[in-house]
Structure 1
Amino acid sequence: MKKVAIITDSVAAIPREIAEKYEITIVPFHAIVDGKDYPDMGVDMRWLYNRLKEKDKHLPTTSCPSEGEFLQAYSRLAQNLEAILYISMTSAFSKGYHAAVEAKEIAREKLPKTRIEIIDSYTVEAGEIPIVIEAAKAAKEDKDLDEIVELANKIITKMNNLQTFDTLFYRYKQGRIFKAKSWAEAESSASFRTILEVDASTGGITKPVARAKTKKQIMEKMVDLTKEKIG
């Protein structure tokens, strides 16, 4: 019988069918558009992306799940399982990790029989996916919490998450650009594409890796960097 529940955030963008197959609970982040709060799992992404293109208007923002949302997820899962593992997006990008930790402290009193662990993945988006899925597979194989935590941490140390963007405008506006700030600020005077890295090797913050003038050049750099990373 499965003992451990696996939770992650919607930033990981795990497809619904995968989440259902591996029994992964997803806690949603929120999109704030024109003052209205939308759980991002229920947002029409085409509408949101089109809204983002309207740079002359007030840009949508995001907010992390609240302590209450995490506590609600913990309480529901604790009814049938012995332990819970939440794998968070990098704590450098969001307060979601800290909200989960605070909810865990509240749960100590409300759910004294349930062990809860929280892991900072030091990465975002697609970088979270293999960590979460492998942890969920181990949970379905009836591994205990300590084994799953060890597995997840091992994957985190090996994970390299390289990302390429047509523009750094949105990351810059969200304050998630860190060491690539100078590149983002230079975009207004020079047109180029970028590769950033966000993983344990960067401490979970954005590190500028490479840039090029054309999509072809940036993809060639991406291939070269990938080969270099995997040896």
Structure 2
Amino acid sequence: MPEIAVVTDSCASIPEPILEELDISWVPYYIHRGEEVLRDLVTAKRDSFYRWLATAKVLPKTANPGPGDYLQVFQSLAEDRGFREIVSIHMTSKGSGAYQAACAAKSMVREILPNLKIEVIDTLNVSMCHGWMVIEAARAALEGKSLFEIVNLVKKMMPITKMIQTADTLKYLYMGGRIGKAKHMMGSVLHIKPLIGMKEGIIVPLGQARSRTSAYEKMIKMVEDVVGHMGRVKIAYVHAAAMEEAEKIKAIAETKLTCVESIFAELSPALGVHTGPGTAGLCYFPV
């Protein structure tokens, strides 16, 4: 067992077998669907949720875990499992309150367990970019690295871990208020596939394409521009109810890049709700 516990939340979208293998603790987000309150990946399962989302007329609201949710996990790790150090790793604070909630929980737990040391990290990233940092932190913990070394590892990954993603339709970006009606209508008529990424913790447009294939080729070209032809990367192919599309991205990537490690990861419902079923993309970092 590692001496340092690694905590994250469901929006990291890390596949369950990896969570179990690396002993990663996670806290579910909330999804408010009308009067119904769901917990991400607990009562909101990927398959059934995305089937429902394809028919939804109004998007559900999502909310990050509260300080009490993190406090419960921190206490359990210390009192039930004997951990004395914890690193808690979260998606960008510019898009979610999870980091702030975990910081509040850290202050609360200090009153109860003054000897428990907790480092809370705002990755300024999302999806499996956030997920990769959690995975590498957990691997470092299993190798016996110190809390200081693990925090530095994550901080070094933050500026070089990148997401590129496209949506099958602009419908969910429009329903969520992220684009206007005119852009939604024009994009739908022209079958535009927007490419989005993240810069300094904020979602930014990276371009657009007129077909999925073109979008995927542009994605890989963007990665190639950073790491070079056949550059070495660790890469996660992310999707929302679109495994076949993720496999297409992988097929292109493997002709242009040296993929040291590849993972398929389906977005958690609390994350996928914003771009909808059919979303596909990648999260990578050079190695």
Fold-level similarity (TM above 0.5): yes
Residue matched to 2:272: none
Which protein, 1 or 2, shows the higher relative CO under an 8 Å CA cutoff with sep ≥ 6? 2
Tell me how far apart the structure 1 counterparts of residues 182 and 201 of structure 2 sit (CA, whole Å): 21
Tell me how far apart the structure 2 counterparts of residues 163 and 141 of structure 1 sit (CA, whole Å): 32
- The letter for the 2-side match of 1:227 is E
Question: Aligned-pair distance for 1:66?
Answer: 1.2
Deviates more, 1:31-40 or 1:149-158: 31-40
Residue matched to 2:90: 88
Write 1 or 2 for the structure with the bigger share of helix. 1
Residue matched to 1:6: 6
Task: Mark the runs of 5 or more structure 1 residues left unpaired by the alignment.
Answer: none
Residue of 110, 113, 116 corresponding to 1:114: 116
- Cα 1:70–1:168 shift into 2, 3 Å: farther
Residue of 145, 154, 157 corresponding to 1:155: 157
Question: Aligned-pair distance for 1:173?
Answer: 4.2
Contact 1:160 1:229 in 2 (8 A): no
TM-score, structure 1 length as denominator?
A: 0.89
- The letter for the 2-side match of 1:189 is M
Contact 2:174 2:184 in 1 (8 A): no
Moved over 3 A (4+): 171-175
Task: Mark the runs of 5 or more structure 2 residues left unpaired by the alignment.
Answer: 229-287
Write 1 or 2 for the structure with the bigger share of strand. 2
Report SS of the residue matched to 1:161.
strand
Report SS of the residue matched to 1:113.
coil
- Cα 1:110–1:205 shift into 2, 3 Å: same
Residue of 97, 104, 107 corresponding to 1:105: 107
Question: Aligned-pair distance for 1:185?
Answer: 5.3
- The letter for the 1-side match of 2:166 is T
Residues 1:141 and 2:143 aligned together: yes
- The letter for the 1-side match of 2:109 is A
Residue matched to 1:31: 31
Residue matched to 2:202: 205
Question: Aligned-pair distance for 1:135?
Answer: 0.3
Question: Aligned-pair distance for 1:144?
Answer: 1.3
Tell me how far apart the structure 1 counterparts of residues 101 and 176 of structure 2 sit (CA, whole Å): 19
TM-score, structure 2 length as denominator?
A: 0.73
Question: Aligned-pair distance for 1:167?
Answer: 2.6
Tell me how far apart the structure 1 counterparts of residues 113 and 172 of structure 2 sit (CA, whole Å): 39
% identity of equivalent residues: 34
Residue matched to 1:44: 45
Contact 2:59 2:176 in 1 (8 A): no
Q: Kindly provide the CA deviation profile for residues 137-167 of structure 1, in whole angstroms up to 9, marking residues without a partner as x.
A: 1111121111100011111121111111113
